[in-house]
Amino acid sequence: MKISRRTMLAASAAAPAVLAAGPAKAATASIKLHSQRHRGAIDRKLFGNFIEHLGRCIEGGVFDEGSPLSDKEGFRQDVLKAVKDMNVPFLRWPGGNFSSNYNWRDGIGPRDARPARLEMAWGTVESNRFGTHEFMDYVQQVGAEPYICLNLGTGSWSEAQQWVEYVNGNENTAVVKERRKNGRDQPWGVKYWGLGNEMDGYWQMGHRSAEDYGKYALEAAKLVKLTDPSTKLIAAGASNFRPGSDWIAWNRTVLDYLKDYADYISLHLYVGNAANDFADFVASPIEMDQKIDILAGLISAAMSGRRDRLTGAVQTDGKQMYIAFDEWNVWYRARGDGQKGRRILEEHYNLEDMLVVAGFLNSLINHADVVKIANLAQLVNVIAPIFTNEKGLYLQTIYYPLQLFSNNVKGNSLTVLSEGPTYKSARFPVVPYIDSSASLDGHALVVNIVNRHQTEAMDVTIALEDKRFAGAATVSEVNGPDIKAMNDFNSNPVTAKNRSQAASGNSLTLRVAAHSYTQLRVMLA
């Protein structure tokens, strides 16, 4: 089992494994930061999200024609406000598994004339009333950058190519004329395109072997880049990362085929607490660390061997590939084979789920040099931070860390040197109680801290090696009465609460409550 850099640092600390009891005397941990010791720029796309034609994510979620809460286009205005408040910068669509049998042509033209089709990924009928134009209108209203996943399951190369031409083309071709006839004169210029979804999965319509997918996706990638060389392509990495699965072999093969054309390779991760083991569940972000570290190594290996296809000379064009973590979340209750229909994948999140989501965000920030895209799955109702009914919505526990990270974490990802007590969990030999990340944007420092201890607070000292605090810090704490606390339409026991914390000199000590996620924001001099 691989131990991440963060885990190793914590493991080397000579700190007690058992915490002192009582609020007066908490155990201690420390975080050391230096403004020049960082892992590079944090890409805003790390705070991306995802809408799929699945359950009530699109229909009944972002899009609810005829609802008094929707505008005349059908966009739910209360949902749109919650999405904007969460500051979603990047949005993936139309799936997921749905994308692998989606014909984009069904979703253009007058809404009432669009064909209803059997939707086989999730066992419903797809009305096609939300298609390319609706998605592009929606991302514009959200203020997000679009990311479209092509159908490389049942779809043909020319269908994929023509979708890119329809969206991005500016020549007077038949496809572009069709777009103009449908009311959009100028190309949208969508940059990010996925080369299929979870093509390694037996459940995927059009599932292929790694070799077959690699060859198929390579030709699709060539056509997309010939249509619009400014596009950025995301290859479908292995989704099925479980002990004994051949996910490394899949990724090696896919990287080998696509390293000259793809700009990213995808990773997916869903975790759960079916065993009701809090200590092990909240350590799940270590699994994300491990997946990222392994895939980053595979990318480095593939890129170092790139050769010119004509001359055989080692490539010196400096092309890079990054990880797109384009599906991640807690998902286990509303799960199981054969889920069909409208009210599916509707997870109700509790406080411990929120801690895992905050820890995943820490992991993404701590790998900001190799992960440049991430999309929480998904935005509304379906394993989502926003939950609706016909009368309104409520914000789930996981909404708060997503909102705090996206609104405040910017600039460079600082390397966090942390020390503190650790524990052993069912899956991981060494788990730090304190999990953290930090960012510095000019003079604005943000530190994110998850306290994985179920019952004890911790005093965390944040020490600056080359800077000083320029004034008091703002602290937002997301917590609730107990680890199973949930929000719903009538009560919201888990929210973010703000307080002020004195800060001067080059060190401050922050008490973080048991089972909490805390974000500290402060200016440096």
| Closest residue to ligand AHR using C-beta atoms | 96
What's the closest the beta carbon of residue 198 comes to ligand AHR, in angstroms? Answer: 5
Task: Pick the stretch among 89-97, 252-260, 400-408, 485-493 that binds ligand AHR (CB under 6 A).
Answer: 89-97
Among residues 74, 94, 95, 107, which is the contact residue for ligand AHR, using CB under 6 A? 95
Number of residues counted as binding ligand AHR (CB under 6 A): 9
Binder of ligand AHR out of 59, 126, 198, 352 (CB under 6 A): 198
The enclosing H or E element of 520 equals: strand 516-523
CB 454, min distance to ligand AHR, A: 29
Backbone angles phi, psi at 38, to 5 degrees: -145, 170
Burial of 320 (0-12, 13-18, 19+ CB in 10 A): exposed
Closest CA to 196 of 238, 250, 235, 158: 235
Query: Can you tell me which of 55, 61, 74, 96 binds ligand AHR, judged by CB under 6 A?
Result: 96
**Cβ closer to ligand AHR: 52 or 260?**
52
Min dist CB 125 to ligand AHR, Å, is 17
The active-site residue out of 52, 59, 327, 477 is 327
H or E segment and range at residue 160 = helix 157-168
Instruction: Name residues contacting ligand AHR, limited to 38-77 (CB under 6 A).
Output: 52
Q: Rounded to an integer, what distance in angstroms lies between the CA atom of residue 317 and that of residue 309?
A: 13
Closest Cα partner for 76 from 145, 148, 142, 149?
142
**Which positions from 247 through 276 interact with ligand AHR, judged by CB under 6 A?**
none
318-337 residues near ligand AHR, rule: CB under 6 A: 327
CB 153 within 8 A of CB 199: yes
Nearer to ligand AHR, 77 or 339 (CB): 339
Binds ligand AHR (CB under 6 A): choice among 365, 377, 438, 522:
377
Q: Please, what is the minimum distance in Å from the beta carbon of residue 57 to ligand AHR?
A: 9
- Alpha carbons 396 and 401: distance in angstroms, whole number: 10
Q: Where are the alpha helices (DSSP H) in 173-260?
A: 174-181, 210-227, 247-258
Closer Cβ to ligand AHR, 327 or 435, answer by number: 327
Catalytic member of 126, 198, 419, 477: 198
Catalytic (active site) residue 145: no
The dihedrals phi and psi of 286, each to the nearest 5 degrees, come to -65, -35
Stretch touching ligand AHR by CB under 6 A, among 92-100, 222-230, 290-298, 476-484: 92-100
Is residue 198 annotated as a catalytic residue, yes or no? yes
DSSP annotation of 7 reads H
Contact status, residue 218 vs residue 257, Cβ threshold 8 Å: yes
Check residue 375 for interaction with ligand AHR (CB under 6 A).
no
- How is residue 100 annotated by DSSP? G
Could you report how far apart the first and last alpha carbons of the chain are, in Å? 41
**Alpha carbon distance 503, 199 (integer Å):** 50
Binding of ligand AHR at residue 119 (CB under 6 A)?
A: no
456 scored as a contact of ligand AHR (CB under 6 A):
no
Strand ordering across the sheet containing 417-419: 417-419, 27-33, 458-464, 507-512
**Interacting residue ranges for ligand AHR, rule: CB under 6 A:** 52, 95-97, 197-198, 327, 377-378
User: Would you please indicate which residues are annotated as catalytic (active-site) residues?
Assistant: 198, 327
